[in-house]
Chain A
Amino acid sequence: MSGVRVLVGTRKGAFVLTADGKRERWEVSGPHFAGWELYHVKGSPADPNRLYASQSTGWFGQLIQRSNDGGKSWEPVGNKFVYDGIPGTHKWYDGTPHPWEFKRVWHLEPSLTDPDTVYAGVEDAALFRSTDGAHTWEEVSGLRKHGTGPSWQPGAGGMCLHTIILDPSHPDRMYIAISAAGAFRTDDGGKTWKPINHGLHSQYIPDPDAEVGHCVHHLAMHRSRPEVLFMQKHWDVMRSDNAGDLWREVSGNLPTDFGFAIDVHAHEPETIYVVPIKSDSEHFPPDGKLRVFRSKTGGNEWEALTKGLPQHDCYVNVLRDAMAVDTLDSCGVYFGTTGGQVYASPNHGENWAPIVRDLPAVLSVEVQTLT
């Protein structure tokens, strides 16, 4: 019997939501790690019962938790994140040099093939890798040291490496994104990196077409076409057909092209989803209407999906890691809000219903399809 497991990270703990393949009746487990911020929880594609969770608070710092039984039980594993060598400085908000300081793990990306290998994207921006089930961590320092690091600058949420995408067809290729440095790619397993921001245009930086400095909010890829990438930038929804070498805008008829989350349909690589947010100064949906927008043409032509979503007086946000899809025949789409709702659509966005309504603010949503 197929089913889904939705892993939800919130401001005050983690929750595990499970249902069978119909996705109508849900069981809610949690809060796990009550009172802590759970920036991200994600399962291993190679072993669905292996989960990794990023747990932190301002008081007690960063912990990493690991489950070997699908989230029923957890054990704290390694939390020592030390930059390689003397980390030097990046730019502070005012443009002055600022020392690199570890703050937290934003995103955990387990290997596609090895349950014991997992990547961590951290603030201040850097990439770490563990090959022993998260007991020990080593910086993939070629990224931070590739040359532009001293010019990276934090976005409003901090200078975070928030997106990690592993290419299923090229094991040595990986994409990452940093706010507010931009997107980067390695083709040699992390030894060397190049900025992939050509075609981005950001009017809020001194050189709108700069090599780095763009506030990339999230990237998405369909595993059948790993050279095609979609991006929700601070403003603008973008697309690249050549592994990030060149981007073009596909915002089209969106009511606003500001937003955080973006994802791709599990079976239709040209069908993409975003949740438009009014602006960077008003982090809520335009007109108080919570709408997911879907494009079946890989961008430019968008339709609003509203059935089951609040269409008045809704002023929540949907954060960058808070949208995911399952891989059941009828692709399920899920997203969480800063108001504590997790919405699910079992029919690729046609109809929506809340799984839960009153969680703490949702930071991340990941979905595992279980067979």
Chain B
Amino acid sequence: MILVVLPSHLKTLAQVSGDVRLEVQDGATLRSVLDALEARFPMLRGTIRDQVTLERRPFLRFFACEEDLSLASPDAPLPDAVASGKEPFFIIGAIAGG
């Protein structure tokens, strides 16, 4: 079970109040986690990655285990601690404002 932390705007859009727990088949990778997330919440399609190219939207980043995984291969295995649900997988919107 993967624990996914969404930015607040996407929580509102997906109508979830807390973090999301996802069952991922055949190993946890960026691609499989995002596929599972979009399958469960179709309204998130296009908000995290392009619907055609599947490229990450430029103002979003993927963090886990104190690492920036944004530029990792979509098919590279996520850290074991993420795959086991021990550590969350963060989808982060670029900080703007100050």
Chain A positions within 8 Å of B, measured between CB atoms, are: 35-36, 57-63, 76, 79-80, 82
Contacts and interface: CB of A to CB of B under 8 A. Distances in A.
Interface of B: 7, 9-10, 13, 43, 45-48, 51-52, 57, 59-60, 93-94
B47 A60 contact: yes
Given A60-B60, A80-B46, 10 more contacts: A59-B9, A59-B60, A59-B94, A60-B10, A60-B47, A62-B46, A76-B43, A79-B45, A80-B45, A80-B51
Contact of A58 (B46, B51, B59): B59
The 6 closest A-B pairs by CB, nearest first: A60-B47, A76-B43, A59-B59, A59-B93, A79-B46, A80-B51
B33 to A, nearest CB: 17
B44 to A, nearest CB: 9
Contacts of A57: 9
B57 A76 contact: no
Nearest to A60: B47
B15 to A, nearest CB: 10
A35 B48 CA distance: 17
Contact of A61 (B7, B43, B47, B52): B47
A310 to B, nearest CB: 30
Task: From A59, A79, A82, name the one whose CB has the most chain B CB atoms within 10 angstroms.
Answer: A59
Contacts of B60: 59-60
Contact of A35 (B9, B47, B52, B57): B9
Task: From B46, B48, B52, B93, name the one whose CB has the most chain A CB atoms within 10 angstroms.
Answer: B46
Contacts of A58: 59
Nearest to B92: A59
Q: Chain B contact residues: over half helix, strand or loop, or mixed?
A: loop
19 contacts: A36-B9, A58-B59, A59-B9, A59-B59, A59-B60, A60-B10, A60-B47, A60-B48, A60-B57, A60-B60, A60-B93, A61-B47, A63-B13, A63-B47, A79-B46, A80-B45, A80-B46, A80-B52, A82-B52
Contacts of A35: 9
A104 to B, nearest CB: 12
A156 B52 CA distance: 28
B5 to A, nearest CB: 15
B39 to A, nearest CB: 15
B70 to A, nearest CB: 14
Nearest to A76: B43
Contacts of B52: 80, 82
A290 to B, nearest CB: 30
A59 B47 CA distance: 8
A59 B46 CA distance: 11
A61 B13 contact: no
A61 B60 CA distance: 11
A61 B93 CA distance: 12
Contacts of B13: 60, 63, 76
B9 A61 contact: no
A6 B57 CA distance: 33
Nearest to B48: A60
A60 B57 CA distance: 7
A127 B93 CA distance: 30
